[in-house]
Amino acid sequence: MNFVDLVRIHAKAGDGGRGCISFHREKYVPKGGPDGGDGGRGGDVVAVVDPHLNTLLHFRYKRHFTAGNGAPGSSNRRTGKRGNDAILRVPPGTIIRDATTGEVLAELIQSGERAVILRGGSGGRGNAAFATPTNRTPRYAEPGKPGPECWLELELKLLADVGLVGFPNVGKSTLIATISAAKPKIADYPFTTLVPNLGMVRLDDERSFVVADIPGLIEGASSGKGLGTDFLRHIERTRVLVFLLDPTMMPPLEAYAILERELLAHNQQLAQKRRILCISKADTLSQEQRQSLSALEFPQYGRPLLVSAVTKENIPTLLELVWAALEADREEHTAGEALTHRPQVSLSQTPR
């Protein structure tokens, strides 16, 4: 299993270099005075988003990261070299927390985004910094300050536009394999999919989106049953949820009610996401079943769409519905941001 989305590592920033005690010595320059330089600053612990990563697996093999210490100062007021940074390369969608306090230190989304997690200790001042008219030959300097250290918890939440939600064996893996180049494991037993799968769907040259196949949920997933608690977090960043309901497993209305209850038990904000409801495996249904299911009415969402990933029935229609939902979500957020950032005009600025 190569997908890792939660790790714990130890990080330490570099110590600052010590200040230098030195006095200027040069021929024909009597009483040159103190010239000890400051120590260099310790290196930082920096997290950087690497778009080529999609898992935290590499942190399984190296759990301790230490930045370089600052070099000590030297004579002639020369400052010590700064310590090298310790770089944590993380995939997009990574949240970094202090493992002890639970405080969120950084949330990294965009490619190339950087965040300083721990700052290196400052370098100590050399004796030149302590010279005064009454103390012209100070014989002391500061030690560098130690760099902070702590245990960090890194959590990955996949960045996908669309999340496929449903019980095990409802056809999510088959669907994502049909609409994208993803190659998930497909078999006729529950929990075949043990890790989330991402697939890029291209409608045409100008329209594309990312779909995530979330491993099957079951009733009680939000409280620890099945794989739900491991992968429910990956639904949080999706913009549209596509529910796949298998009528041969249980009545679709009942299945949807259970899935909705588990999602909201995990995170109430999931109620705000747009939904598309589908009846899967339409190729296995009789004509009578198809007519009955087509007439179903889901509160707030109307009638479901019958789809089959095997015969590709209504798959083009589903993709167009998904794109329309994504566009509506994008327009809604754009309008909301414009309203939030609209400049406020005071009465004194209102033109007469």
- Give the tens place of pLDDT for each residue, 315-348: 999 999 999 999 988 888 777 655 555 554 433 3
Instruction: Indicate whether 76 and 110 sit together in one domain.
Output: yes
Q: Which domain holds residue 168?
A: 162-339
Q: What does each C-alpha distance from 119 to 13, 14, 16, 130 come to in angstroms?
A: 6, 8, 11, 26
The predicted pLDDT at position 238 comes to: 85
Q: Give the CATH number, domain containing residue 168.
A: 3.40.50.300
Instruction: Indicate whether 220 and 315 sit together in one domain.
Output: yes
Instruction: Indicate whether 65 and 184 sit together in one domain.
Output: no
Instruction: Indicate whether 48 and 144 sit together in one domain.
Output: yes
37: in domain: yes
> What pLDDT, in 10s, does the model give residues 258-304?
888 888 887 788 888 899 999 998 988 889 888 888 888 888 888 89
Instruction: Indicate whether 148 and 167 sit together in one domain.
Output: no
Residue 46 pLDDT grade (very low, low, confident, very high; cuts 50, 70, 90): very high
> What's the average model confidence in pLDDT over 215-230?
53
352: in domain: no
Which two tokens mark 15?
Answer: 């110590």
Instruction: Indicate whether 151 and 253 sit together in one domain.
Output: no
Instruction: Indicate whether 199 and 50 sit together in one domain.
Output: no
344: in domain: no
Q: Regarding predicted confidence, which is higher, 179 or 15? A: 15
Domain count, the chain: 2
- Most confident residue range from 217-226, 234-243, 338-347: 234-243
End of a domain among 156, 187, 221?
156
Strands (E) in the chain, as ranges, are: 6-12, 45-49, 64-66, 86-90, 94-98, 104-108, 114-118, 149-156, 162-165, 197-204, 207-213, 240-245, 274-279, 305-306
End of a domain among 156, 191, 224?
156
End of a domain among 156, 174, 193?
156
